[in-house]
């Protein structure tokens, strides 16, 4: 989440090249291969993890390239039109490979699968299986496993025994932001019981997990039997050695949670709190349910609780009706909050959302200019803040081991991404001194 971009980067899924050896249950699947491609947010990465387990259980070996795969699963995002365009590009390529006999079956899952548009895509591209976000368990049957409704539900852990794991604590969203398709494709909020979440995390930790990320569209809206998100976070921080959570909604974010981030030493001091706009008028049009001042107040509580912490956000430029004055208010908010990073999105009309029907279209060249102005504001702040880290020695959690250039990618307790020259294994910690910094990453040397 530490990049500044106009689209959510497709999360690459590390795939093994060998069969899992988990004991396939479908004789027919023996020797078969599958490739899962994930687009969009961490929820999708997590859903892909679950689907990966299903195909492994069915005896499929995972491969990286479409041309090596009998079955290709595209787990997709519907949040912006460019996400759909990218998937169409992949579907076109898959059709070609299928004509050449190199790919046998194609499944489309995730948020596009849950949208109306999936029907026409299915016809145009001859897709074999279309699944939404609530029936991914049907993939089990498709790959030759017995029907698994009970097993493959949101209750099921996505990742096991890895050094890092995503744990879904809630699905869906009860907000109705003007521009957003998520409530349509993911449905209303469903919260998972606390014992189930904590129990899963205890199991993961005893299996070797060192870093747990709590996931949901609005994680801080989690509530269950009188408990609220902060209660859950505190309980998790007692059992997991390292915890982070995403994504939050400013209307649900309690001061208590912000203070817990600062106080509890197992919680990464990194807050992702999407603001979308700095203009009260736009926030109202968007139905965000808070004003810019309230957002600023939350940020000052966070900065006080975790002065070294990192803050990121989402901002939409060019929502229908956004005036130059609204845009200036966003720039001012960017300046005041001093974000360490931000996802900046150009408004993309989604059929079925309120904003798609609104007047007040903002011309592309204006959107582009506003996008760059917000980007420049964020990067200047981020660069300035990162420079302050130079010369400090930090404890760094290694997320990805060293690549050919000898650099591993890690994270400080303040949530900064760091490139560090070390051969330490993923999941371990190293002490390193920050030597230089750019707007997005710190560069460190081990002591
Ligand atoms: N256009 C542009 N950005 C959008 N987002 C959601 N829907 C749209 C849209 N229609 C952005 C919001 C949200 C993030 C995940 O994607 O900023 O927080
Ligand atoms: Fe979409 Fe708003 Fe829900 Fe976030 S809070 S998922 S932007 S509707």
Ligand 2 pocket member 375 (CB < 6 A): no
Q: Considering every ligand atom shown, identify the ligand nearest to the alpha carbon of residue 188 and give its number.
A: 2
User: Which ligand 2 atom is the nearest neighbour of the CA of 276?
Assistant: 7
Instruction: List the one residue out of 80, 136, 79, 103 whose CA is nearest residue 90.
Output: 103
Q: Considering every ligand atom shown, identify the ligand nearest to the alpha carbon of residue 358 and give its number.
A: 1
CA distances from 64 to 32, 90, 131, 172, 237 (A): 13, 14, 22, 30, 35
Alpha helices in 114-193 (DSSP H): 118-125, 138-142, 182-186
User: Which ligand 1 atom is the nearest neighbour of the CA of 179?
Assistant: 10
Strands 310-317, 341-346: pairing is parallel
378 in Cβ contact with 341 (< 8 Å) = yes
Using the mean position of ligand 1's atoms as its centre, give its distance from the Cα of residue 391 in Å: 37
CA distances from 34 to 105, 258, 358 (A): 9, 42, 42
Query: Using CA positions, which residue lies closest to atom 16 of ligand 1?
Result: 79
Supply the pTM of this predicted model. Answer: 0.82
pLDDT on residue 363: 97
Using the mean position of ligand 1's atoms as its centre, give its distance from the Cα of residue 237 in Å: 30
Using the mean position of ligand 2's atoms as its centre, give its distance from the Cα of residue 146 in Å: 35
3-state SS class at 266: coil
Q: Considering every ligand atom shown, identify the ligand nearest to the alpha carbon of residue 349 and give its number.
A: 1
Percentages of the chain per state (helix, strand, coil), in multiples of 5:
35, 20, 45
315 in Cβ contact with 341 (< 8 Å) = no
Instruction: List the one residue out of 297, 246, 263 whose CA is nearest residue 413.
Output: 263
pLDDT on residue 229: 98
Length of the chain: 447
Ligand 2 pocket member 145 (CB < 6 A): no
307 contacts: CB under 8 Å, gap ≥ 6? none
How are strands ordered across the β-sheet holding 105-110?
Answer: 61-62, 33-38, 71-76, 105-110, 129-130
Using the mean position of ligand 1's atoms as its centre, give its distance from the Cα of residue 112 in Å: 15
Question: How many angstroms separate the first and last alpha carbons of the chain?
Answer: 27
Using the mean position of ligand 1's atoms as its centre, give its distance from the Cα of residue 316 in Å: 7
φ, ψ of residue 314 in degrees (nearest 5): -115, 140
List the structure tokens of 329.
Answer: 């208010």
Q: Considering every ligand atom shown, identify the ligand nearest to the alpha carbon of residue 77 and give its number.
A: 1
pLDDT on residue 132: 87
pLDDT, tens digit, 9 for 90 and up, residues 263-318: 999 999 999 999 999 999 999 999 999 999 999 999 999 999 999 999 999 999 99
User: Which ligand 2 atom is the nearest neighbour of the CA of 176?
Assistant: 8
Q: What angle do CA 309, 388, 246 make, to 5 degrees?
A: 25
Using the mean position of ligand 2's atoms as its centre, give its distance from the Cα of residue 131 in Å: 22
- Any residues with Cβ below 6 Å from ligand 1, and which? 79-80, 179-180, 274, 276, 314, 316, 345, 347-348, 350
pLDDT on residue 346: 92
List the structure tokens of 234.
Answer: 């505190």
Q: Which of 41, 80, 250 to mutate to test the pocket of ligand 1 (most atoms within 8 A of CB)?
A: 80
User: Which ligand 1 atom is the nearest neighbour of the CA of 348?
Assistant: 1
pLDDT, tens digit, 9 for 90 and up, residues 138-173: 888 888 876 544 333 444 444 544 688 888 899 889
pLDDT in tens, the chain (447 residues): 333 333 333 333 232 322 333 333 333 445 789 999 999 888 888 888 888 878 887 888 889 999 999 999 999 998 888 889 999 999 999 999 999 999 999 999 999 998 988 999 999 999 999 998 877 778 888 888 765 443 334 444 445 446 888 888 998 899 999 999 989 888 899 999 999 999 999 999 998 999 999 999 999 999 999 999 999 999 999 999 999 999 999 999 999 999 999 999 999 999 999 999 999 999 999 999 999 999 999 999 999 999 999 999 999 999 999 999 999 999 999 999 999 999 899 999 988 899 999 999 999 999 999 999 999 999 999 999 999 999 999 999 998 888 878 899 999 999 999 999 999 999 999 999 999 999 989 999 987
φ, ψ of residue 354 in degrees (nearest 5): -60, -40
Separation between Cα atoms, residue 58 and residue 27, nearest integer Å: 9
Query: Using CA positions, which residue lies closest to atom 2 of ligand 2?
Result: 177
pLDDT on residue 55: 86
List the structure tokens of 436.
Answer: 């230089």
Separation between Cα atoms, residue 101 and residue 254, nearest integer Å: 55
């Amino acid at each position: 989440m530490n990049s500044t971009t106009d689209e959510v980067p497709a999360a690459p899924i590390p795939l093994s090249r060998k069969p899992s050896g988990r004991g396939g249950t479908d004789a027919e699947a023996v020797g078969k291969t599958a490739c899962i491609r994930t687009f969009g947010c961490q929820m999708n990465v997590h859903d892909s993890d679950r689907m990966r387990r299903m195909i492994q259980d069915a005896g499929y070996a995972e491969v990286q390239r479409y041309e090596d795969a009998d079955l290709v699963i595209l787990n997709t995002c519907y949040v912006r039109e460019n996400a759909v365009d990218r998937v169409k590009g992949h579907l076109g390529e898959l059709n070609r490979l299928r004509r050449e006999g190199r790919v046998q079956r194609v499944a489309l899952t995730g948020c596009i699968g849950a949208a109306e548009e999936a029907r026409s895509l299915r016809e145009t591209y001859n897709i074999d299986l279309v699944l939404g976000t609530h029936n991914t368990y049907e993939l089990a049957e498709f790959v030759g496993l017995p029907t698994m409704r009970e097993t493959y539900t949101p209750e099921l852990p996505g990742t096991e025994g890895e050094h890092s794991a995503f744990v879904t604590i809630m699905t869906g969203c009860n907000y109705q932001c003007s521009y957003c398709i998520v409530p349509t494709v993911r449905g209303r909020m469903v919260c998972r019981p606390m014992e189930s979440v904590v129990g899963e995390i205890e199991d993961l930790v005893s299996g070797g997990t060192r870093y747990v990320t709590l996931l949901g569209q609005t994680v801080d809206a989690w509530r269950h039997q009188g408990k609220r998100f902060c209660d859950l976070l505190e309980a998790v921080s007692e059992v997991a050695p390292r915890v982070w959570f995403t994504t939050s909604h400013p209307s649900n974010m309690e001061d208590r949670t912000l203070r817990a981030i600062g106080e509890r030493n197992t919680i990464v001091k990194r807050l992702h709190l999407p603001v979308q706009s700095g203009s009260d008028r736009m926030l109202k049009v968007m139905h965000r349910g808070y004003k810019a001042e309230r957002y600023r107040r939350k940020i000052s509580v966070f900065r006080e609780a975790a002065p070294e912490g990192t803050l990121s956000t989402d901002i939409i430029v060019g929502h229908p009706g956004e005036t130059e004055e609204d845009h200036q208010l966003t720039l001012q908010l960017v300046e005041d909050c001093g974000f360490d990073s931000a996802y900046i999105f150009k408004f993309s009309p989604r059929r079925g959302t309120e904003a798609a029907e609104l007047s007040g279209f903002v011309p592309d060249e204006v959107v582009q200019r506003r996008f760059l102005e917000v980007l420049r504001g964020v990067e200047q702040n981020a660069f300035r803040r990162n420079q302050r880290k130079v010369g400090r020695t930090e404890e760094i959690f290694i997320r990805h081991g060293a690549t050919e250039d000898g650099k591993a990618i890690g994270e400080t307790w303040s949530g900064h991404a760091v490139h560090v020259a070390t051969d330490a294994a993923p999941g371990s910690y190293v002490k390193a001194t920050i030597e230089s910094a750019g707007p997005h990453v710190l560069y460190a040397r081990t002591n």
